[in-house]
Amino acid sequence: GLQARLMSQALRKLTGIVSKSRTCLIFINQIREKIGVMFGNPETTTGGRALKFYSSMRIDIRRIAAIKEGEQVTGSRTRVKVVKNKVAAPFREAEFDILYGEGISREGDLLDLAVNHEILEKSGSWFSYKGERIGQGRENARQFLKDNKDTMAKLEAEVRKELGLIPATPAATTAPAPTQGGRVTTMPSAVETAAKATAARK
């Protein structure tokens, strides 16, 4: 229809602009169901086929469960599937918690990885770390990690080691310590180095 033609025209123009400006352009779409589909997946996205063709990555995001504290809903368990990917391997899936007012739960992510790699023990509904119980139920264990930063840091270091990742270095993100005389020593940038080299040649 008209919307599909407009999308196709707009995306032809946007592709070059986005590439030159090195911009990440994100489109959010909704799922509709095709009428009269007897076989295959009836779900589709609106706006024609141009957006599917031009996109470098397409991600299917679905809420699969509600996270509650008592009767109050505080977030949602979310499943993500990469249905198209031009920059890496497609068709991978991930699950994580999105907490309202907070975003993706780092503690919940760490909890899942630690259980999957047998760093945390899960017996029934209890979670244990090195023989010590840290919570009954996933939400209590997640809250324990949130309240006990030292335990969380140790657990994260073990998970990173198991996955072969570079250990987190929080100290590297802090401001540089002042040297004698209160001055801060910094590395010269590439632009400064090039400028000095040009001046020296002159």
Instruction: Answer yes or no: are the C-beta atoms of 67 and 101 closer than 8 Å.
Output: no
38 confidence band (pLDDT: 50, 70, 90)? confident
- Label the pairing between strands 126-129 and 121-123: antiparallel
- State the number of CA atoms in the 13 A half-sphere of 200 facing the CB: 6
pLDDT value at residue 169: 56
70 confidence band (pLDDT: 50, 70, 90)? confident
pLDDT value at residue 14: 92
pLDDT value at residue 136: 92
Residue found by looking up tokens 């911009």 in the block: 23
Determine if residue 124 is left, alpha or beta; phi over 0 gives left, psi from -120 to 50 gives alpha, anything else beta: left
Q: Above 50 in pLDDT, residue 189?
A: no
Q: Above 50 in pLDDT, residue 120?
A: yes
The mean pLDDT of the chain is 84
pTM of the predicted model, to two decimals? 0.68
Q: Which residue has the higher pLDDT, 169 or 88?
A: 88
Q: Which residue has the higher pLDDT, 178 or 98?
A: 98
- State the number of CA atoms in the 13 A half-sphere of 61 facing the CB: 13
Amino acid making up residue 60: D
Q: Residue ranges of the alpha helices (H) in 42-189?
A: 50-54, 106-116, 138-147, 149-163
Q: Which residue has the higher pLDDT, 198 or 38?
A: 38
20 confidence band (pLDDT: 50, 70, 90)? very high
Q: Above 70 in pLDDT, residue 30?
A: yes
Amino acid making up residue 65: A
Phi, psi of 83 (to 5 degrees): -90, -15
CATH of domain 105-168: 3.30.250.10
Instruction: Answer yes or no: are the C-beta atoms of 156 and 109 closer than 8 Å.
Output: no
Rounded-to-integer distance, Cα 136 and Cα 147, Å:
15
* Strands laid side by side in the 132-136 sheet: 121-123, 126-129, 132-136
CATH 3.30.250.10 domain residues, the chain: 105-168
pLDDT value at residue 168: 55
No. of H helices and E strands in the chain? 6, 9
Mean pLDDT of 22-36: 91
Q: Above 50 in pLDDT, residue 183?
A: no
Q: Express each pLDDT in 52-65 by its tens digit.
A: 999 999 999 999 99
